[in-house]
Amino acid sequence: MTTSRLSLYWGSASPFVRKVMACAHELGLADRIDILDSAANPIDRDTRIQAYNPLAKVPAARTSNGLALYDSRVICEYMDTLAAEESGIASPRLFPLAGPARWSALRRQALADGLLDAALLVRYENLLRPEQLRWSEWIDKQSEKVADALDAMLADVPDLSAVDIGTISYACALGWLDFRFPDLDWRSGRQQLADWQATFDARPAMTATRPRA
């Protein structure tokens, strides 16, 4: 039987790419991903990526049989299903099939992704928009979303035994804040969340996927 592989448009600093790669490491699939470098940008779009994702956003993947997969949520669930099918295990490891565990994992993923969406808007406003056109109220309101998401994470700190798409998403989002917003001090007043992140982020899958410029 031919081993299924993934070609992946990748970015070293993307938290969504990190989520895909962390899942791949957890599932033992990292060595079956062929990395395609890219320069994704919301203004100067990298048209190479459009062969896999018409939005020209990363991560974007294609299976060895030609199936296009995007975005991170879809790619991660595909890999989890693939790993389960190949191992003969009835239940995927990272996406619980049913019940409270599934909804908790998916909710946490949605919260982490929403935090990143808001934080990325702040970054793009400061980095890409000409200074005289920057909208301070926009930045403030997106920053409020980030703070509210962090408080929601604090109210829902996972058990360290939970390794699923929700906890991986939490860790990738918090790690990206450290990477892109080192002055944010998101840990202040959120010690329990900070302690969880420090422990989870020491997992081999997380250390192997640290963001870099």
CATH code for the domain in which residue 111 is found: 1.20.1050.10
* Shared-domain flag, residues 106 and 200: yes
Same domain (yes/no): 103, 200: yes
User: CATH number, domain at 42?
Assistant: 3.40.30.10
Query: pTM of the full predicted structure?
Result: 0.95
Instruction: Say yes or no: 131 and 194 in one domain.
Output: yes
Same domain, 105 and 197: yes
pLDDT in tens, 71-116: 999 999 999 999 998 887 766 889 999 899 999 999 999 999 999 9
Q: Examine the domain organization and report whether 65 and 134 are in the same domain.
A: no
Q: What DSSP element (H or E) covers 34?
A: strand 33-37
Contact 122, 146 (CB under 8 A): yes
pLDDT tens-digit readout, 12-65? 999 999 999 999 999 999 999 999 988 888 888 889 999 999 999 999 999 999
For the segment 113-131, what is each residue's pLDDT rounded down to a tens digit? 999 999 999 999 999 999 9
Answer whether residue 185 shows pLDDT above 80: yes
Say if 29 falls within a structural domain. yes
Q: Is 41 inside any structural domain?
A: yes
Alpha helices, DSSP H only, in 128-182? 136-154, 165-180
If asked whether residues 83 and 104 sit together in one domain, one would say no
The helix or strand, by DSSP H or E, that contains position 110, with its residue range, turns out to be: helix 99-127
- The verdict on residue 213 lying in a domain is no
Question: For residue 61, what are the domain limits?
Answer: 6-87
